[in-house]
Amino acid sequence: MRGLTASFILASVASLTAAWPNDWVNINYVLKQAGSGGSSSTSSSRQSIIDSASSTANDGPWSVTDKGSVLPPSGNAHDYLSWAPYHWPDCNWCTKGTNHLANPSNNTGDDASDDDGESDSEEMFVIFGRGLGHSNSFSRHKREVFGTHRRMHKWKAAVAGAPRQFIDARQDSLADSELPTQTIPLVGVTEPALPTTQTSSSVGTVNGTPAPAEAPAKTQSKQSSCTPSPTKSLAPSATWTTCPYVPRDGQVNPDVRTLPDSPAAVKMPEAVLYNSIAYALQKSSTGSKTAVSFIDTFFLASKTAMTPNMNFGQMVRGPGKEHQQGTFTGILDLRGMVKVVNAIQLLKAANSPDWTSARDQAMTTWVKSYISWLETSDLGKQVVSKANNHVTFYVNQLAALKLYVGDTQGAITNLKNYFSNQFQDQIAASGEQPFEAARTRPFHYRCFNLEAMITNAKLGDQLGQNFWTAKSKYGATIQDALDYVMGVDPGKEDISDIFPHVASVAAAYGDSKGKYAAFLQQHDSDYKSEPFWFYDQTAALPNSPAASSKSTRSMDPLAKRGVVDSILFSCPSVFSNASTTALDDGVYVTCQQVRSYYEILPADTNVTVLVG
């Protein structure tokens, strides 16, 4: 088996590449495109998928048991393990004694040189080339599989107040002083007031209203105590349990890349989906056998299977039992389960002889166990309580998994609950996403949550539901969120994060004025050769506005919003029983801090936002 060895990862730290976004490909659409049924307009993108299937077949299989000597606290190599990417050792050795620790502990330099591998709060996407010689422009974009984490320090997102052009119905009394105390007390750590800081992307004037300054989460601390110095030489790994780890938002600690589970959880689903699509399109046994082999190795084979939980996902290292478990953000690492389910459903629909009833039953057992863990574990319950991309991706997983085990109504219910609850506060009237805009890389996080929202809508579409026209409580849709991000200057962030979402929205809502096609042509002239172009077609979204001849909103969902007299602002529901909410482990915002993002006026409307 071609496992991801630590030496391979260490040698490849600088050569990061991204996986394609989380997505769902309509089953019936793929089957209709097989053989001579394929559209000429997507021929290049189909070939890209077939080429990717071939190249990824040479990379796998993958298993979480390929950890080498680094095991999770359970000691079980079958348990998934990853480390929080933005946490660094802060040993602060006492002057008495000798510091023999081999690795530096107080490096404060930025990790900008490798672009983060970029990361989705939350995704450490390691090192894999796609082998698509004709599809270079998009395949270079970076992404990440993690998030910021833990309880060593509290982080506060300090949002600069925007000039008010709204009617204040009341004054919000939430203050930074109401932030919760640290779960793990740190001796001598204080929290000075945080200055407003400037981020790498910016928003221009929207309808004459200056947007609020971007407000990255920031950690500043003053240490007044020290860690007893070791009296003998320590291995670098001793840092993991000896020193406290502190968050440095957006700065990836390179040693997290020495663990193979995160890249395996990214690469495996992509390879499985590409090979399954290739089989459905070509009926080539190679694609089917490859996909099944990879699924067997990762989930089913007794020697290599992963246990169905994320108990040790995105652990924050440090002394004490508190650091012997994962964080709620670790669940995000396995969001690729959507692709795995998608792939298996394709194999079954295409009558693959390799996906046997015995395999299906074994996989069903694994998935049911994982569903139970997602719904009942403390970490799973924590994610459900969040308001940002973490809960959106959680719904991706849960809905897809329930679809797989035959609980169609359960999948629909989960999606409906999301669009009726968390989604309601995720998009402001302008299309801004306040809980993503408050992060350190706002362009990236806006695109990241869009990725998850679109996947939820596509899952619903597969199940006969139309969530494309679902509106937030401010009257905004997924299309509005996409349009807003298109108007944002990404600065030093990667504009290619948005490309697949532009194609999805064009397919779902229509593009009568050609603005989406023009955007893609301007920034990625080879976009019709990208894999996403194959399945981001209106024919693949039969329940979308663009696919419905009765739709009157398919071209402009904002058309009716200009006549609205007012939209009452109220604190998002996540603040109903708490003064703060965590955007990541240790990263908190208050209602007051995100309010200005809700108050940006929609473009070309007469809407007034009332602060209530």
Determine, yes or no, domain membership for 600.
Answer: yes
Cis peptide before 61 (omega within 30 of 0): yes
- The string of pLDDT tens digits covering residues 278-326 is 999 999 899 999 999 999 999 999 999 999 999 999 998 888 888 889 9
The C-alpha atoms of residue 498 and residue 500 are separated, in whole angstroms, by 6
- Give this prediction's pTM: 0.79
* One domain, residues 458 and 583: yes
The C-alpha atoms of residue 46 and residue 324 are separated, in whole angstroms, by 45
The C-alpha atoms of residue 128 and residue 6 are separated, in whole angstroms, by 15
* One domain, residues 430 and 330: no
* One domain, residues 360 and 462: no
Query: Could you tell me the sign of the dihedral formed by the alpha carbons of 228, 313, 594, 451, in that order?
Result: positive
Structure tokens at 6: 């630590």
Q: Which residues are paired to 580 by β-bridges?
A: 590
Range of the domain at 259: 25-93+230-385
The C-alpha atoms of residue 84 and residue 150 are separated, in whole angstroms, by 8
Total domain count for the chain?
A: 2
Concatenating the DSSP letter of every residue in 389-425 gives HHHHHHHHHHHHHHHHTT-HHHHHHHHHHHHHTGGGG
Q: What DSSP character marks residue 255? A: G
Determine, yes or no, domain membership for 44.
Answer: yes
* One domain, residues 262 and 377: yes
Q: Which residues fall within 8 angstroms of residue 413, CB to CB, at 6 or more apart?
A: none
* One domain, residues 504 and 595: yes
Determine, yes or no, domain membership for 344.
Answer: yes
* From 389-403, 445-459, 493-507, 543-557, the region with the lowest mean pLDDT: 543-557
* Selection from 344, 349, 350 nearest residue 294 by Cα: 344
- The string of pLDDT tens digits covering residues 189-215 is 223 233 333 344 544 433 333 344 444
One-letter amino acid identity for 464? G
* One domain, residues 351 and 499: no
Determine, yes or no, domain membership for 453.
Answer: yes
Determine, yes or no, domain membership for 554.
Answer: no
- The string of pLDDT tens digits covering residues 345-355 is 999 999 999 99
Give kind and range of the element (H or E) at residue 29: helix 27-32
* One domain, residues 312 and 441: no
| pLDDT surpassing 70 at residue 388 | yes
* From 13-27, 139-153, 330-344, 455-469, the region with the lowest mean pLDDT: 139-153
For residue 608, what pLDDT is reported? 54
For residue 97, what pLDDT is reported? 42
What's the mean per-residue pLDDT of the chain? 78
* One domain, residues 317 and 447: no
For residue 409, what pLDDT is reported? 98
528-554 mean pLDDT: 86
E-state strands within 169-252: 189-190, 202-203, 217-218, 222-223, 245-247
Determine, yes or no, domain membership for 339.
Answer: yes
Residue ending a domain, among 369, 385, 401, is 385
Is 582 in contact with 438 (CB distance < 8 Å)?
A: no
> 247: pLDDT confidence band, cut at 50, 70 and 90?
confident
Give kind and range of the element (H or E) at residue 361: helix 357-376
Burial 286-305 (b: 16+ CB within 10 A, else e): ebbbbbbbbbbbbbbbeebb
Strand, helix or coil for residue 385: coil
The HSE-up count of residue 525 (CA atoms within 13 Å, CB side) is 0
For residue 257, what pLDDT is reported? 87
| pLDDT surpassing 60 at residue 52 | yes
* One domain, residues 425 and 368: no
151-166 mean pLDDT: 37
* From 81-90, 111-120, 434-443, the region with the lowest mean pLDDT: 111-120
The C-alpha atoms of residue 269 and residue 22 are separated, in whole angstroms, by 10
| pLDDT surpassing 50 at residue 438 | yes
Q: What is the CA radius of gyration of the chain?
A: 24
| DSSP H helical ranges for 429-530 | 434-437, 442-462, 478-486, 499-509, 515-523
Strand, helix or coil for residue 145: strand
277: domain CATH number is 1.50.10.100
Residue ending a domain, among 385, 400, 426, is 385
| pLDDT surpassing 70 at residue 612 | no
Determine, yes or no, domain membership for 134.
Answer: no
Calculate the CA dihedral of residues 406, 329, 125, 112 and round it to 10 degrees: 160
Burial 390-402 (b: 16+ CB within 10 A, else e): bbbbbbbbbbbbb
The C-alpha atoms of residue 204 and residue 224 are separated, in whole angstroms, by 42
Strand, helix or coil for residue 497: helix
266-282 mean pLDDT: 98
* One domain, residues 314 and 443: no
Calculate the CA dihedral of residues 514, 517, 523, 529 and round it to 10 degrees: -170
Residue ending a domain, among 385, 406, 426, is 385
Give kind and range of the element (H or E) at residue 582: strand 580-584
Query: Pairing state of beta strands 202-203 and 155-157?
Result: unpaired
* One domain, residues 365 and 423: no
* One domain, residues 365 and 476: no
Q: Which residues fall within 8 angstroms of residue 274, CB to CB, at 6 or more apart?
A: 49, 52, 53, 56, 531
In 10 A of CB 102, how many CB atoms? 12
Determine, yes or no, domain membership for 199.
Answer: no
Is 345 in contact with 404 (CB distance < 8 Å)?
A: yes
380-407 mean pLDDT: 98
Give kind and range of the element (H or E) at residue 156: strand 155-157
